[in-house]
Amino acid sequence: MKRALLALAAVLFAASLLLAWLALRSGSVRELPPPPAVPAAAVQALLQATLPDSEGGAQSLSQWRGRILVVNYWATWCPPCRDEMPGFSKLHSRYAARGVQFVGIAIDEAAKVRDFARATPVSYPLLVADQPFAETARALGNEPLAMPYTVVIDREGKLRAAVLGRVHEDALVGLLEGLVSPR
């Protein structure tokens, strides 16, 4: 009897671990949490950065100053990163005329980003950064430096959202609608 109870407990424990893993693996953030408290200098450091695009041309994030900026740290080897990009692309197309700019910052190699963009076109710029640049994500609240990591910065340069993990489109729509609507 004791052995059967232990076996049942082990099976239930393993099943709960499996369910938790599946929920984390397939889930996406559907409601944006409040942004972390970060120094304004961290946001300004990102906005002042100049990074190459996948073709090697220099792109300054300051060119989008005054727009609502959705910055997504990602990598070609990251499945959740790749999964959320078609949704981001749709949202960028939907909101670009209303002052929203999506930008992908790949912590990756330019050739891999170029190959990815050819196979999976997106409607927003893909920039390339090295691992040391990922520290800007840590300064913006991404302590583990995991990906994907998405931040939303309003027209005034204030951090409005920071999300670790795959972001569901609906979660961004609510925030973007509030930011683009006249007050």
Catalytic residue set: 78, 81
Q: Are 152 and 70 in contact (CB under 8 A)?
A: yes
Largest distance between two CA atoms of the chain: 70
| DSSP percent split of the chain into helix, strand, coil, nearest 5 | 50, 20, 30
The CA distance from 85 to 125, in Å, is: 12
List the one residue out of 19, 13, 39, 34 whose CA is nearest residue 139. Answer: 39
Find tokens 């100049």 and name the residue.
50
What is the rounded CA–CA span in Å between residue 104 and residue 71?
Answer: 6
